A and B are shown apart, each in its own frame.
Chain A
């Protein structure tokens, strides 16, 4: 398996622009997580899905952030409009409650977002 795939790996945009981050989870995994990592705040859980349904979005910082999971193999995290304080590394992770790797989250390589 190719692991969790994220795109783009790097994104540089200007304040006010819309940003869309993409994630393909590991095939067969039924949980998908979006995290944000910064030096100041560490690793923060933004939202997670189970079977494509959002379960907990309490970590989403504000209405400018939205996430969707239209099917089991694809999710997006959108920021509109973007602000400089959104600059961070965004990680996607997936897991399953079944099998020997139950509960183990597998992380993608991350998207480094810079908002100028």
Chain B
């Protein structure tokens, strides 16, 4: 069965410092990996995804993520965090097998707090 782990409930970082949000996964076959962000009282917004190709994926708002197959990880990164990046971040995975088309498994979420 597929699963996603976000080991940190909360990440605290000072504005201007690098931000990393960790995600590891377990899935059969080659994974499709996603990051979403949720601002207060809003729905989830798509940030980026890895399907195939280059292991470094660039997404919205200056975020990027690196797919590491050997470590089964897909960590989200931003070189210089902004206060406005404070939000709840979700990692998600979908196996590439045909019986799972469309359905994503979401992690528990990591709250990011960026202080001025």
Contacts and interface: CB of A to CB of B under 8 A. Distances in A.
Partners in one complex: yes
Interface of A: 4, 31, 33, 42-43, 45, 48, 50, 55-56, 91, 93, 95, 97, 102-110
A106 B44 CA distance: 8
Interface in B35-86: 36, 42-46, 49, 51
Nearest to A95: B102
Contact of A43 (B34, B42, B46, B109): B109
Contacts, number: 51
Size category of the binding interface on chain B: 10 to 19
- Most chain B CB within 10 A, of A91, A97, A103, is at A103
A104 B49 contact: yes
A116 to B, nearest CB: 20
A93 B46 CA distance: 11
Given A31-B102, A97-B101, A97-B102, A103 B94 contact: yes
B87 interface: no
A115 B105 CA distance: 28
Given A42-B109, A43-B109, A103 B90 contact: no
A57 B49 CA distance: 26
A114 B103 CA distance: 27
B90 A110 contact: no
Interface of B: 32, 34, 36, 42-46, 49, 51, 90, 94, 101-104, 106, 108-109
B109 A45 contact: no
B110 to A, nearest CB: 11
A105 B104 contact: yes
Contacts of B101: 50, 97
Contacts of A103: 32, 34, 49, 51, 94, 102, 104
B96 to A, nearest CB: 10
B106 to A, nearest CB: 5
Instruction: List the 9 closest pairs (A to B, CB-CB), nearest first.
Output: A107-B43, A31-B102, A107-B44, A43-B106, A42-B108, A109-B43, A104-B46, A110-B43, A108-B43
A82 B42 CA distance: 24
Given A43-B109, A104-B34, A105-B104, A91 B46 contact: no
